[in-house]
Structure 1
């Protein structure tokens, strides 16, 4: 599986803050044998996010695109809206699981607006902007990610054929 990691941060894009969440996700993925083929930091600008997600999904290189940041409720948090603008299909379960798991750790999980879905042959998942939150959230949904990517890309294998290690 090949992945791309997009960090959304006004300060990071201006070079005023070092990105911690993007590298944390890249390290987490690498530890699982996932090749990160692209990474970038862009400002919390709807049009920039849309353009990057479209480019990365439409070039067909990334099976998985993770975004980090911009999923809260501040006026500059536009990642979910930008993501929804590019998705062909929404997969609500990813956001539901991430919020449920995060709620075990913080009440602030209730204000996460993270979404996930499909564009072309890519799975796109929004993650929180903190390194800890981003990793905890990808860990929460990871058991379903490889199978989802396989199905998105046309696998005709029956879901019942998934091995027990892929299941709960």
Structure 2
């Protein structure tokens, strides 16, 4: 929650008052940023810039906001290209779309049963047990929450935002 900025009109009626207290709240949307589960990516890394020779193809799991943010931006870029319109500041359209087409955004809700993930770091060998949705004081909830915002974006939602931006 912002200490300085008033709650914008597009968040009113979507963000619970118990979180907003009349102030700007974030996040707006979410994407997988968990480095434990992450995205599976296959690459052949260049090992010599002069010859462009590569290492053998390998599969890795990547995660974190360094991956999630560009993927969300990419979804919006595809929507912008598909709609033929410049989105500009998309937040009002994101919230309007979530109100009108709730099925196009994936609401991230608490797991039905408590789950845990066993993880072994390939770089350090460290072993971890991560409990899902119980690791901090922040928890997911139905609708807007202060962990995942409105929920997880997908291309269908991003395209609906682009259409909303120019028709709403």
TM-score normalised by the chain length of structure 1: 0.27
Report which of the two has the higher share of helix.
Answer: 1
Q: Which has the higher contact order (CA 8 A, sep 6+)?
A: 2
Considering only CA atoms, is the larger Rg found in Structure 1 or Structure 2?
Answer: 2
TM-score normalised by the chain length of structure 2: 0.27
